[in-house]
Amino acid sequence: MTIANTPLKESSLQPKGWFRYFSFSLDHKVIGLQYLVCGFVFYLIGGLLASAIRVELTSPISDFMPRDVYNQVLTLHGTIMIFLWIVPVVNGAFGNYLIPFYVGARDMAFPRLNAVAFWLIPPAGLMLISSYFITGAAQSGWTAYPPLSITTPAAGQIIWILSVLLLGGSSIFGGINFIATILKLRRPGLKLMQLPMYCWAMLGTSILVVLSTPVLAGTLILLSFDIVANTGFFNPNLGGNVIVYQHLFWFYSHPAVYIMVLPAFGLVSEILPVHCRKPLFGYVTMVYSIMAIVVLGLVVWAHHMFTSGTPPWMRLFFTIATAFIAVPTGIKFFNWVATLWGGRISLNSAILFSCGFIINFVLGGITGVALAQVPFDVHAHDTYFVVAHFHYIVYGGSVFVIFSSIYHWYPKVTGRMLSENLGRLHFALTFIGFNLCFAPQHWLGLNGMPRRVAEYDPQFQLINQISSAGALLMALSTLPFLWNVFESAFKGTIAGDNPWNALTPEWLTSSPPPVENWEGEAPLVSEPYGYGVTQAEFEQSSISTYQEDEHQ
């Protein structure tokens, strides 16, 4: 039907062996891994910066690093974690690896664009980080609100803008590619409503990426004019308006939250049915709720601006729109719980991280609905309550899912299993550390600690130290993970093609898969979640086990 459905002739010209991971490879699986490993390196750097912030905050005075460096660190931490870790990994890494399998294609629709999209990321990231050493990094936060971003040292801010523009470009290229692949490269006979849920999540996410990222790009270009050419788009001294920037910025940056969590929703929907041995509960409502989140996600941006001096009607509209996102999101959570219910659940690392995600995200969602209420927000806005809220969403949500996905797909990618014991240790450290770090921050915010400060009221010291102890556990939790990933790559149990007995198409080929994805024709999987037995069989299998136990 299309070129990508026949084996790529070029594939024979592609580099082989380990070198291909450092090359301009066109293989979607190689590009997916490039995204993942590159993202993880940036995650470690962003985590180091987070640790520096938590060390500074163990004491109420600014004593660990100079104040302007602190602001650079928090700006880099936010920018790296969002634009270089979560967005590229939940979209680029898993999207590239899985989407061609799920639609039954040999590769993405535009393999070259795909490689370009990835190769924009390392230079953008290196540029951003090197700005710290060369000129001093941007210090106006990842939001870069003018006039602060216009008045702080220009070099760092301009480099920040350039790298975010590159990363935005990468994101748009990826989005176009995913939309084209999902809609146009489906294997003949595969209907849209038979696609695995991650395809729907990526379709929705990519629509958001393509619609909203250009707005951010335009805004940042105007901001750079204000900085270098002394224009007055956002500069009040020249008749500009600082609030307009906030509207334009959040028009992208709120959907950005969904760009970070919708793919995670999709990944969880793939992982849960396999390890629960049950169909995904309510496929059709899951699809509709993703699309509802996409539509609503575009019209909620001003809830970040409730204290900016926003007219009352606008506050009301954005309160209602924001709160209503909880309805489709709620459906997804109830459906996941219903997927667990009546399953035969393997309590492995993948399931633990997925269930950790459900619990964390529910808390983040509840505080989100609270923050959507204007009267609540005027107290909690720009405090540590908000810091806690969004870390429950992006770390407790997206990052937990990234780890869950790594435990789930590692055997496919490497052909070897990860150690379950190290995986459980990793989960325990991450879950305890994360909650210890961020749960107390709700209280800090409500009681008077604003965000983005290097010094604070001494009465908050103990709670901040508890929070920093949690951060230390989170930092330690990467050690068993890294050890596990490296050791298992060489010494892990051989996984075989389909260690989880999963039904989605990526498991119906060898581990790791060949360049063409399948030796023969792509399989037609019309029921990706066709697990499960009848009530009678289920009870029979429970009873027979107990009898076996008695014999032993």
| 503 CB neighbour count, 10 Å cutoff | 19
Residue 125 structure tokens: 């990231």
Total number of residues that touch other proteins (CB under 8 A) = 104
The nearer residue to other proteins, 57 or 164, going by C-beta atoms, is 57
Min dist. Cβ of residue 421 to other proteins (A): 16
141 binds other proteins (CB under 8 A): yes
Min dist. Cβ of residue 487 to other proteins (A): 26
Give ∠ CA 29-262-268 in degrees, rounded to 5.
70
231 binds other proteins (CB under 8 A): no
Among 114, 152, 398, 467, binds other proteins (CB under 8 A): 152
550 binds other proteins (CB under 8 A): no
Contact partners, residue 31, CB within 8 Å, separation at least 6: 25, 92, 96, 114, 115, 118
Contact partners, residue 15, CB within 8 Å, separation at least 6: 23, 25
Min dist. Cβ of residue 541 to other proteins (A): 4
Asked if 77 and 45 count as a contact pair (C-beta separation under 8 A), the reply is no
Among 40, 102, 283, 395, binds other proteins (CB under 8 A): 283
Select the span of 97-105, 327-335, 402-410, 472-480 touching other proteins (CB under 8 A): 327-335
The nearer residue to other proteins, 298 or 362, going by C-beta atoms, is 362
The per-residue DSSP string of 80-149 comes to: IIIIIIIHIIIIIIHHHHHHHHHHT-SS-S-HHHHHHHHHTHHHHHHHHHHHHHHT----STTTT-TTHH
In the shown chain, the binding pattern of residues 32 to 71 toward other proteins, with x for contact by CB under 8 A and - for none, equals ------------------------------x---xxx-xx
247 binds other proteins (CB under 8 A): no
5 binds other proteins (CB under 8 A): no
Asked if 150 and 231 count as a contact pair (C-beta separation under 8 A), the reply is no
222 binds other proteins (CB under 8 A): no
Select the span of 9-17, 258-266, 322-330, 420-428 touching other proteins (CB under 8 A): 322-330
Among 347, 476, 479, 494, binds other proteins (CB under 8 A): 347
Among 5, 135, 241, 478, binds other proteins (CB under 8 A): 241
At residue 416, φ and ψ (nearest 5 deg) are -130, 155
Select the span of 180-188, 462-470, 486-494, 532-540 touching other proteins (CB under 8 A): 532-540
| 392 CB neighbour count, 10 Å cutoff | 26
Among 14, 51, 231, 373, binds other proteins (CB under 8 A): 373
355 binds other proteins (CB under 8 A): yes
Instruction: Kindly identify the residues of this chain, within the stretch 398-457, that bind other proteins according to CB under 8 A.
Output: 442-443, 446-448, 450-457
| Cα–Cα distance for residue pair 178/91, rounded to 1 Å | 9
Min dist. Cβ of residue 307 to other proteins (A): 5
For tokens 């592609």, the residue is: 14
Among 2, 6, 130, 308, binds other proteins (CB under 8 A): 308
Phi-psi region of 188 (alpha: psi -120 to 50; beta: other; left: phi over 0): beta
| Cα–Cα distance for residue pair 38/42, rounded to 1 Å | 7
Asked if 191 and 199 count as a contact pair (C-beta separation under 8 A), the reply is no
CA 549 from chain centre, in angstroms, equals 43
For tokens 């975010």, the residue is: 164
Burial 408-426 (b: 16+ CB within 10 A, else e): bbbbbbbbbbbbbebbebb
Residue 211 structure tokens: 């619609």
Among 1, 37, 193, 327, binds other proteins (CB under 8 A): 327
In the DSSP assignment, the letter for residue 395 is I
In the shown chain, the binding pattern of residues 467 to 506 toward other proteins, with x for contact by CB under 8 A and - for none, equals ----------------------------------------
375 binds other proteins (CB under 8 A): yes
Contact partners, residue 131, CB within 8 Å, separation at least 6: 137, 138, 155, 156, 159, 160, 163
520 binds other proteins (CB under 8 A): no
155 binds other proteins (CB under 8 A): no
Among 29, 278, 408, 416, binds other proteins (CB under 8 A): 278
The nearer residue to other proteins, 322 or 511, going by C-beta atoms, is 322
